[in-house]
Every structure is written in C-alpha cells, then in structure tokens.
Amino acid sequence: MTRTLPPVRLHINDRFDPSDAYGDAQRAVIGPDARIQARETITAWPGYAPTPLIELKGLAEYCGIDRLWLKHEGKRFHLKSFKALGGAYAVQRLLGEKAGGDAGDLTVCCATDGNHGKAVAWGAQQAGIRCVIYLHAHVSQGREDAIAAFGAEIKRVDGTYDDSVRQAAADAETNGWTVVSDTSWDGYTEIPSWVMQGYTVMVAEIMEQLGPERPTHLFVQGGVGGLPAAVIAPFWADWGAERPRPIVVEPHAADCLYQSAVAGRLAEAEGNLETLMACLSAGEASPLAWQILDHGTAAFMTMDDDFVRQAMTALAEGHGADPKLVVGESGSAGTAALLAMKDQAEHRAALGLDAGARVLVIASEGATDPEIYHQVVGQTPETVGEAA
C-alpha cells in the first residue's frame, strides 16, 4: 500500500514538560557516573579529539532563524560517524567485565545498517577478538567493504534491519557469542546502555564548545532512538528547563519513533523502511532509548527523502560565507529537517521556531559511503573541498 503523506509530519508530544526533572527512569539508562566513565575512557583512546561544532550563519539566515550550530561527526576518528563512540566503547566495557576470564575466546556480533557494525568491528580488531557482522539486504556494498576492512566476518540476511537483529541474536545464542547491539529488547539492556553512554561524549564536547550559548531547539535524527536519547539525556540532566527543545527526526519510510509517540507506547514503523537515510531505516524502536525519548522529546517529525538531498547539497556548497561540509545521507537529516520547516508556517509556530531561534543540529556522519554521496551531491567528498 502506498501512503500519501505531506512533505513533513509533525507530532507535538504532550508528555513533554520542560519543567520535568531528569528522573530515575532516565538515570537508569544514562546516569551521571556512566557519562563520566565513558568520557574518561574514550578521551584516553589514541587519536581522540573533539569533533568540531561549526556555526553556520548563512544557512541560519536562509532558514529565518538567529543562530545555527552543527556538530560534525564526520570528523569522528577515522570512522566518520558518532557511532564510533558507542560500539567500540561497549566492546571495551565487555572486555573489562571479562577481566580475569579469557577475553581471547570472546566473539562479538551485531546487526547494522553500516556505522554501528563498523564501530564494533573496530573495537574488536583493537582487542584482537573475533567479530561477526550481520547486514540486511539493503546495506550498500561500500558499507560492507568498510566494515570488512576492520577484519570482521560479514553475514548477509534477507529482509530488513530488524530481521538482521533477530538473526544475529539467534546465531549468538547457538554459538555462544556476545551480541553488542545498539538496540535493546526485553532482557537485553546492559550492552545497549553502554553504547548510548558512549555517545554522550559528543554532548559533553558540545556543552564545552557552546560555552555560555544556549540553543533553543535541537534537531536530532533517530533510527532505533539511541542517538536522540543519548543527546537529549545530558541536556535534560544538566540544563533542566533551560535545555533546547528536542525535535526527533525520521524519514517518512522508517517512522517507528513517530508512531510510538502517536500511540503513546512502543509501536512499529508504518513505512516500508526504504529510504535514502539508510542508517535510520529501523522498524522498531529501542525500548531503552524510549525510556528517555517518551517524556524527553518535545516533538517528533518525519519528512521526505528529498529534503536530505537538499541538505547534503546545501552543506556541500556552503551558504554565503559558510564553510563547505561533507555530511552523509543519515547525517544530514537534522539539517534537512530544519530546511523542511522553512515554509511550514504552522509547524514553525507550534515549535516556536522563529527569528529568535537558536538551533543545534547533529551531523551524525560524513560520507560513509562515498559512492552514494557522489550520486546525491554530484561531487565526490574530495572535490567538495571541506577544510580539514
């Protein structure tokens, strides 16, 4: 069945109250000590450096807002996505738990749309342990090659991302492997909580980089919800009512977070999961992430893939004096959402997205599949000429 949808759908979350405190349910997933531990561990990794927070004055003016900051995760280690912070950190935590046991016997596995699997493979390679990565039918060859380059064994699964999650879990059970997943399910929460705790290092950097500035709005994209939950949690815990209003962004085709918000409980995506934003192609939300998103998200929106093409091109060209930036398909979704709002007067009013708005977007990946990037933008990542 084809669904005819408007270019943008917006759902204002009536369970969000800016004056609500960050509570026990949220702290159980991402607590203050867990954030400190993740930061101490990850900042000690060789090659660690904070990724840049870039102000885009030209694009802000074009979008009719006051300020726009973009956190550029394309610069995250050599993996080019924020996912490096989660998967590799969880592998390291797992090895820590096994200290005293024989970690060499450990095999880790997971399903992925691309970036999480690369992070787990990277962590496993550094630890010298075996890694098996499950890819669903729509993961591109470029992304498979990038994961295999970290020494992982690849298994292809017919079907969707969610099918590959189930296959990885079933094979792990049969073979005695450990699943290092970025999504959670009933009875499986500890490892995905480590993954999300690793992501929070990005927010610690943002808070330092912002100094005294306070964004009013945050556009952050979600797949299973781990990224938005990990970005929302530290702002909520540390800034309380002063935190930016979070708007969680998904493709029309993979709208499990939007549908969960509308239903008021975890619900599956209604779209067919086919989207250019390949890393957001999740049909089922992570229950652990939902523990934060349910009350922590001011609004949920979904949009056409076309806005992502516009955003990738706009970032590559640079508006006015803005720098040229290489941001991938899923990475551009937050910026695309802001562009999508440009002509949506009613939605803008509902969000308070006016000329005084100060917006933070998370560019969660660089050109993690250079061939697809080239097809969309019409230039290779190299010819865009992003400043190093």
Ligand X SMILES: Cc1ncc(COP(=O)(O)O)c(C=O)c1O
Catalytic residues: 83, 113
CB of 300: closest distance to ligand X in angstroms?
13
CB of 86 to ligand X, least distance (A): 8
Tokens of 194: 């480590």
Stretch that binds ligand X, among 45-53, 98-106, 138-146, 226-234 (CB under 6 A): 226-234
Q: Which one of 118-126, 225-233, 268-276, 346-354 is the stretch in contact with ligand X (CB under 6 A)? A: 225-233
What is the b/e burial string over 326-338, where b = at least 16 CB atoms within 10 angstroms of the residue's CB? bbbbbbbbbbbbb
Q: Is 244 helix (H, G, I), strand (E, B) or coil?
A: coil
Give whichever of 59 and 293 is closer to ligand X, judged by the CB atom. Answer: 293
What binding mask, one character per residue, do residues 28-67 give for ligand X by CB under 6 A, x or -? ----------------------------------------
223 binds ligand X (CB under 6 A): yes
Among positions 84, 124, 131, 280, the unique one binding ligand X when judged by CB under 6 A? 280
Among 13, 178, 197, 221, binds ligand X (CB under 6 A): 221
**Contact positions with ligand X (CB under 6 A) in 155-184:** 182
CB of 227 to ligand X, least distance (A): 4
What is the C-alpha to C-alpha distance for residues 7 and 256, in angstroms, rounded to an integer? 17
Closest by Cα among 284, 254, 257, 280 to 115: 280
Q: Which of 369, 365, 266, 385 is nearest to 325 (CA)?
A: 385
Among 364, 367, 369, 381, binds ligand X (CB under 6 A): 364
Comparing CA positions, the residue from 315, 362, 369 lying closest to residue 115 is 369
Encode 124-155 in three state secondary structure: HHHHCCEEEEEEECCCCHHHHHHHHCCCCEEE
Footprint of ligand X on 233-272 (CB under 6 A): none
Query: Among residues 77, 100, 101, 74, which one has the least CA distance to residue 89?
Result: 77
Q: Which is nearer to ligand X, 116 or 245 (CB)?
A: 116
Nearer to ligand X, 22 or 82 (CB): 82
Which member of 63, 227, 315, 353 binds ligand X (CB under 6 A)? 227
113 is a site residue for ligand X (CB under 6 A): yes
| Beta-ladder partners of 251 | 303
**Cα–Cα distance measured from residue 341 to residue 249, given in angstroms and rounded to the nearest whole number:** 12
For ligand X, which is the closer residue by CB, 41 or 330? Answer: 330
Taking CB under 6 A as the rule, does residue 83 contact ligand X?
A: yes
Interface region with ligand X, contact rule CB under 6 A, candidates 111-119, 140-148, 206-214, 233-241: 111-119
Cβ distance to ligand X smaller for residue 70 or 106: 70
Q: Give me the residues paired with residue 360 across strands.
A: 69, 218
CB atoms inside a 10 Å sphere around CB 321: 8
Stretch near ligand X under the rule CB under 6 A, chosen from 4-12, 203-211, 276-284, 374-382: 276-284
What is the DSSP pairing of strand 67-72 with strand 53-55?
antiparallel
Q: Would you count residue 330 as binding ligand X (CB under 6 A)?
A: yes
Residues in the chain: 388
Tell me the CA end-to-end span of the chain in Å, nearest whole number: 46
Q: Is 365 in the site for ligand X (CB under 6 A)?
A: yes
Nearer to ligand X, 228 or 271 (CB): 228
Residue 131, interface with ligand X (CB under 6 A)? no
Binders of ligand X: how many residues, by CB under 6 A? Answer: 21
Burial class (CB in 10 A: 0-12, 13-18, 19+), 31: middle
Q: Which residues are within 8 A (CB) of 270 and not within 5 positions of it... i.e. 6 or more apart?
A: 3, 255, 259
- Per CB under 6 A, residues contacting ligand X are 81, 83, 113, 115-116, 182, 221-228, 279-280, 282, 330-331, 364-365
